[in-house]
Amino acid sequence: MRLAVCVKEVPEASARTRIDPGTLRLDRGGAATLNPFDAHALEEALRIKERTGEGEVVAVMMAPLPAADSLRKALAIGADRAVHVADDALAGSDLVATARTLAKAVEREEPDLILLGQQGGDSDGAVLWSALADLLRLPVVSQAASLELAEGKVAVKRQTEYGYDLIEAPLPCIVAVSDAINEPRYPSLKGIMGAKKKPHETLNAADLGLGADEIGEAGSRTEVYALADPPSRGDSVRIEGDGAAAEKVVEYLTERKLI
């Protein structure tokens, strides 16, 4: 069983992320981490490997070079191998340009199952898998709250606006998992030590046979014109600490006759 997991690096939740007013792109210069949503996809891959007792888990990432640390974290958690696509020509890639790049990188692995997280922690996008599936011409199921593998098929329980659907697809296929599908493990000390010795390949756009007009800004068809402040929502009150918090909330609500 060959399992590929697409992972991404996103700004640390505690970092004050911003969009660079010059380039109108996300400032990726601050503290960053492995997208927490992708940790669930990695966890699911590791569990499948453990359950079936065989297989290989490859983490695939497209990101600038410094993101290698986040990819190493995926190795520390348990991935067997890492593939990092890094190239300055990729900066500014939109959905389709990113999907093109990942499709090429994933294809080389000839995986039976390709897993993704439910969304990008930075873009709130929940779109990549479907674009990837179309380029790879593979079936896709998103928002998997649970996933079972049997007889060369996956069975997925997926939440929609109406409750839960049950969907089945033959391998090879693509599944994007909900963040409730599992509780991701943390890297162990042994895992962290071992990660340095695991295969960690770095590729550029030319290695994947990607033309300059297919990727980055040139290969993208969306653009950002301007930034603005969000509409103001009026005054809000901030209460810190557990001590008198409950009293203060009750006082606030009583004053406004809400209780």
Partner 1 sequence: MPTLVYLEDHEGELVKGSLGVLTKAAQLGGDVAAVVCGSGVQGLAAQAGRYGAARVYVADDPALVAPLPQPRVDVLEALVRERGFDTVLFGASVLATDVAAGLAARLPAGLNWDLVDLEVRDGKLVGRRPALQDSVYADVGWKGEPRLALVRSGTFEPVEGGGEAEVEELAVQTQDFSRQAVMLERAHAESEGPSIEDADVIVAGGRGLGSPDKFGLLEELAQALGGAVAATRAVVDAGWYPYATQVGQTGKTVSPKLYFACGISGAIQHKVGMQASGTIVAINKDPNAPIFEYADVGVVGDLHQIVPKLTELVRERRT
Ligand X SMILES: Nc1ncnc2c1ncn2[C@@H]1O[C@H](COP(=O)(O)O)[C@@H](O)[C@H]1O
Ligand Y SMILES: Cc1cc2nc3c(=O)[nH]c(=O)nc-3n(C[C@H](O)[C@H](O)[C@H](O)COP(=O)(O)OP(=O)(O)OC[C@H]3O[C@@H](n4cnc5c(N)ncnc54)[C@H](O)[C@@H]3O)c2cc1C
Site string for partner 1, 193-212 (x = CB under 8 A): --------------------
**Cα dihedral 87→79→104→66 (10° resolution):** -10
92 binds ligand X (CB under 6 A): yes
Contact 82, 29 (CB under 8 A): no
Beta-strand pair 153-160/2-7: unpaired
Using CB under 8 A, which of 80, 122, 201, 207 touches partner 1? 122
126 binds ligand Y (CB under 6 A): yes
70 binds ligand Y (CB under 6 A): no
87 interacts with, out of ligand Y, ligand X, partner 1, none, CB within 5 to 8 A per kind: ligand X
Closest CA to 45 of 240, 182, 151, 200: 182
Q: How far is the CB of 139 from ligand X (least distance, A)?
A: 24
Question: Hey, which residues between 27 and 46 contact ligand X (CB under 6 A)?
Answer: 28
222 interacts with, out of ligand Y, partner 1, ligand X, none, CB within 5 to 8 A per kind: partner 1
Instruction: Give bridge partners of residue 156 from the DSSP assignment.
Output: 147, 167
Supply 85's token pair: 């696509």
Contact 182, 147 (CB under 8 A): no
Question: Hey, which residues between 8 and 37 contact partner 1 (CB under 8 A)?
Answer: 13-14, 17-19, 24, 26
